[in-house]
Amino acid sequence: MKKKFLEKFFLASQAGTIHKEISGICQNIEKTLYEYWEHFDQLCTSCPYHQIYDQLLLQYFYEGLLPMDRSMIDASSGGALVEKTHMEARELISKMATNSQQFGIGADHTPRKVNEVMHSNIKTQLSELTSLIRQVALGQVR
């Protein structure tokens, strides 16, 4: 019965397309950690028949992260995310993604010219740094 249901509602071609999307997922520079996590989660749940092991799913997600977000996740996990169980890693990433949305930490990693950095508002930079530290602290860094 399960096989008949999946054949009718989740075509093999659809599963193959989603499998390919999941395995090649990358965080765009415009996407926040939250947006990237939500997109990844939607992909995974859109086809329950993708047949990818949980550890491999997390590896695809992790490898597609922008370097700054990958470093924050590693720091929050106490060194390396790969040392956590699948459930611990998912919980940590989910909390960090939610915190990044709550505190407005974006993926604005666009390079700026030296004179733009010099003229930027120090209060804004301090506020962003405070938010980032708060996120790491709420991520329960060990």
Structure tokens at 2: 């399960």
Task: State how far the Cα of 75 lies from the Cα of 107, in Å rounded to an integer.
Answer: 18
Are 98 and 35 contacting, i.e. CB atoms less than 8 angstroms apart?
no
Per-residue pLDDT reduced to its tens digit, 80-137: 777 888 899 999 999 999 887 776 555 454 555 555 544 456 767 777 777 778 777 7
Who contacts 73 (Cβ-Cβ below 8 Å, separation ≥6)? 62, 65, 81, 92, 93, 96
Structure tokens at 40: 């990844």
Residue with tokens 């993926």: 107
Structure tokens at 14: 């659809």
For residue 83, the 8-state DSSP code is G
Task: State how far the Cα of 142 lies from the Cα of 135, in Å rounded to an integer.
Answer: 13
Task: State how far the Cα of 61 lies from the Cα of 29, in Å rounded to an integer.
Answer: 15
Angle between the N-to-C axes of helices 12-23 and 54-63, in degrees from 0 to 180, rounded to the nearest 10:
50
pTM over 0.85: no
Per-residue pLDDT reduced to its tens digit, 31-42: 999 999 999 998
Q: What is the pLDDT of residue 61?
A: 92
Per-residue pLDDT reduced to its tens digit, 38-75: 999 988 888 766 678 888 888 999 999 999 998 889 88
Q: Which of 54, 35, 34 lies closest to 44, judged by CA?
A: 54
Task: State how far the Cα of 14 lies from the Cα of 102, in Å rounded to an integer.
Answer: 34
**Per-domain residue ranges of the chain:** 8-138
Structure tokens at 7: 């054949």
Please say if the pLDDT value at position 142 is more than 50.
no
